[in-house]
Amino acid sequence: MNIAVFASHGGSDLQAIIDGCKNNQINARVSVVISNNGNSMALQRAEAEGIPAYHLSANKSGNEEALATEILDILAKYNVEMIFLAGYMRMLHISVLEKYNNRIFNIHPALLPKFGGKGMHGMNVHTAVIKAKESETGVTIHRVNAEYDSGEIVAQTTVPVLKNDTPEILAARVLDREYEFLVEVIGDIVNGEITLG
């Protein structure tokens, strides 16, 4: 299966997916990487692995519609069957959502529906979890629709919140689990245990 990964920053989740494909935990390949940030480590990681990588943004394209057309053209060029958003900080245009309905997945560093929605990313999530005095948090993988973090949840895993956790300590513990979980769940999607639309 050909997977497109969209990422905005460091691309560590992207690397976990690439490694999972290389060591046969995922029976697929990352065929293209798209980032809205020309300086993202994700683009550098893709290039280091010999994976086609594109910096695409509404600013570069002119507007959201033109961006969506460029994205769809690239996805078609690489015969993409599934899209994974790995820290992609943009809402996808409705035309992309419709074309790849039920085939776009996102990873979120909390147990949705708690701690989701606009602005809930990165350290903001872990800070909110600690402030709410939660005893556990985790990682959610969900289908993507036109509303932030509200698509159908396909898999979740829990991570304990410990008494002396800071947002940074909790973030590191969640991230450790996130890398493994990502590979497990994408493996399940590729194998058909989690269905594509």
Residue pair 190/21 in contact by the 8 Å Cβ criterion: no
Domain 2-190 is in which class? alpha beta
Residue positions forming the annotated binding site: 106
| Average pLDDT of adjacent 10-residue blocks, the chain of 197 residues | 96 96 96 96 97 95 94 98 94 96 96 93 95 97 93 97 97 96 96 89
* Domain boundaries, given as residue ranges, for the chain: 2-190
Give the per-residue pLDDT at 15: 97
First to last CA, the chain: 14
Report the alpha-carbon distance of residue 88 to residue 24 in Å, rounded.
25
126 included as an active-site residue:
no
- Identified catalytic residue from 9, 93, 108, 126: 108
**3 state SS of 50:** coil
Residue positions forming the annotated binding site for (6R)-10-formyltetrahydrofolate: 106
- pTM for the complete prediction? 0.95
Report the alpha-carbon distance of residue 88 to residue 99 in Å, rounded.
18
Give the per-residue pLDDT at 151: 94
Give the per-residue pLDDT at 119: 87
Q: What angle do CA 15, 146, 140 make, to 5 degrees?
A: 45
Q: Which residue matches tokens 């800071």?
A: 166
* Strands 82-85 vs 53-55: parallel, antiparallel or unpaired: unpaired
Closest-CA residue to 106 (of 148, 45, 76)? 148
DSSP category for residue 162:
P
Residue pair 46/14 in contact by the 8 Å Cβ criterion: yes
Helix (H) or strand (E) holding 160: strand 153-160
Give the per-residue pLDDT at 148: 86
